Amino acid sequence: MIQSMVREFSRKVVAGTAAERDRTKEFPAENLKKMGELGLMGMMVPPEYEGQGADTISYVLALSEIAYSCASTAVVMSVQNSIVCESINKFGTEEQKEKFLKPLASGKVIGAFALTEPEAGSDPVRQSATAVRDGDYYVLNGDKRFITSGKNAKTVIVTAKTDESNQHKGISAFIVTKGTPGFIVGNVEEKMGLRASDTTDLIFEDCRVPAENLLGDEGDGFKIAMTGLDGGRIGIAAQSVGLAQAAFDEAVKYAKKRKQFGQSISKFQGLRWKIADMATEIEAARQLMFLAASMKDRGEKYTTQASMAKLFASEMVNRIAATALQMHGGYGFIKDYPVERLYRDARVFTIYEGTSEIQRIVISNNILKDKRKL
C-alpha cells in the first residue's frame, strides 16, 4: 500500500517538474511539504514523535519511488529520514525529541547532517571543527563541506572535537539550529547532478550552542555518525534502485519505439541482451537493499550488508544509466530525453555517504574480524 501510494504521488506530482528543477536548481520545497503531510519525512520515527512508525522495508520502497521521479528530492528525503531523524530518535533525550524530532519527522522542518570537512571526507576522525565547553554552552568553530540541504535545513546535526587528544572518542555531535549567531551558510556548490538539492559549506564562528543540544554523551559523535551512515547507506541503495529503474524503463520504451534498419531496435539481439542484463542487475541490487533493510528491522547487525547494498547498487545504477544513454544513441546526449539527467544524477551515488572504496574497506574489515560471516 505504501509503495502504491508513493508511486502514484511520485509520478503525478514529483516527476512533472524534475527536469525543470534540474535546470533552475529550484529546491522542491512544496513537494517536500506534501511529502511531510504524507508521512514520508520521518517514516521510521514512532508516532508519538509525529513519525509513521514504519519499518525500513516500507521506507526503502517509498524512497525508491521518489528517486524514480526526482533524485534531488530523494536525497533530501533520505538524509532527513536516515541520518537526521534516526540519529535523534536513537540518541536524543526526551526534550530533544519533543523540540527537534517532532518538526523534522512531520516534515515541517528540513534537517541536515554535518560531518564532512574540506580536509576530512573519507576520514572524518581527522576533522578539525572544535566545540569547547563554556558554562551552559559549547562554543563551536570550524568549517563543514558538501552538506546536503545546508541552505534549506533549519536543524543540523554537527560533529566537532570536544577532546582533541582523543581520536574518534573525542568527537561529539550537537543539534544546531539556523539563526544561532555564528552559524553561517557558506558557498552553495554548482553541481553536475542532483541540482535541485542544495549542497553547501557550513561555517561556525564562535557559535554558542546550548549544552542541552549535545546529542548522546560527549565523545559519542563518531558512533552516532557511523550508526546513522549505516542506515543512510541503505537509503543510497534505495535511491540507486529507483533511479536505475527509471533509466531502464526509459531505455526499454525508446528501444521499442525507435526504428533502424527497417525494424524496432528492440529486435536486435545486442540490445535484447543489454535489456536482460540490466533487469537482472537492478533486481540483484533490490534484493541486497531488502536484505540490509530486513536485517535492520529484525534488530540484527547490518553494517556489512548496508555497505554491500550501497556499493553494488550505486555502481549498478551508473552502469545502467550509461547503458540506457547509449541505447538512446545521439538522443541520449541531449536534454530532451530524461536519461541525460539520470546519468548525471547517478554519478554521485558511488561517492556520497562513503565512497565505493570506503564500502569495500567496511565490508572487508567486518569479514576479516568476524569469521562467522564467511
- Residue 185 makes contact with ligand CAA by CB under 6 A: no
- Kindly tell me which residue out of 59, 100, 113, 204 binds ligand CAA, with binding defined by CB under 6 A: 113
Q: Which of residues 68-97 bind ligand CAA (CB under 6 A)?
A: 79
Closer residue to ligand CAA (CB): 34 or 168:
168
> Does residue 353 carry a catalytic annotation?
yes
Min separation Cβ 150 and ligand CAA, Å = 9
- Kindly tell me which residue out of 17, 346, 353, 363 binds ligand CAA, with binding defined by CB under 6 A: 353
Closer residue to ligand CAA (CB): 28 or 124:
124
Q: Considering CB under 6 A, how many residues would be counted as binding ligand CAA?
A: 24
Q: Which of 50, 86, 281, 353 is catalytic?
A: 353
Residue 177 burial (CB < 10 Å; 0-12/13-18/19+)? middle
DSSP 179: T
- Residue 362 makes contact with ligand CAA by CB under 6 A: yes
Closer residue to ligand CAA (CB): 114 or 327:
114
d(CA 272, CA 266): 6
d(CA 346, CA 337): 15
Q: Which of residues 203-222 bind ligand CAA (CB under 6 A)?
A: 222
Longest dimension (CA), the chain: 79
- Kindly tell me which residue out of 36, 51, 111, 124 binds ligand CAA, with binding defined by CB under 6 A: 124
Query: By the 8 A CB rule, do 331 and 93 touch?
Result: no
Residue 371 burial (CB < 10 Å; 0-12/13-18/19+)? exposed
* Stretch of 7-15, 53-61, 268-276, 357-365 contacting ligand CAA, by CB under 6 A: 357-365
The set of cell numbers assigned to 203 is 561555517
- Kindly tell me which residue out of 58, 73, 127, 148 binds ligand CAA, with binding defined by CB under 6 A: 148
State how beta strands 130-134 and 137-148 pair.
antiparallel
* Stretch of 3-11, 28-36, 238-246, 356-364 contacting ligand CAA, by CB under 6 A: 356-364
Residue 91 identity: F
User: In sequence order, what are the residues at sequence separation of 6 or more whose Cβ sits closer than 8 angstroms to the Cβ of residue 112?
Assistant: 79, 84, 147, 148, 149, 150, 153, 155, 156, 157, 202
Q: Taking the chain, what is the end-to-end CA distance rounded to the nearest angstrom? A: 36
Closer residue to ligand CAA (CB): 61 or 362:
362
- Residue 258 makes contact with ligand CAA by CB under 6 A: no
Min separation Cβ 355 and ligand CAA, Å = 7
Q: Which of residues 23-62 bind ligand CAA (CB under 6 A)?
A: none
Q: Which residues of 15-30 are buried (b: 16+ CB within 10 A; e: fewer)?
A: bebbbebbeeeebbee
Q: What are phi and psi of 116, to 5 degrees?
A: -65, 145
Catalytic residue list: 353
Contact residues for ligand CAA, defined by CB under 6 A: 79, 113, 115-116, 122-125, 147-148, 168, 222-223, 226-227, 229-230, 303, 352-354, 358, 361-362
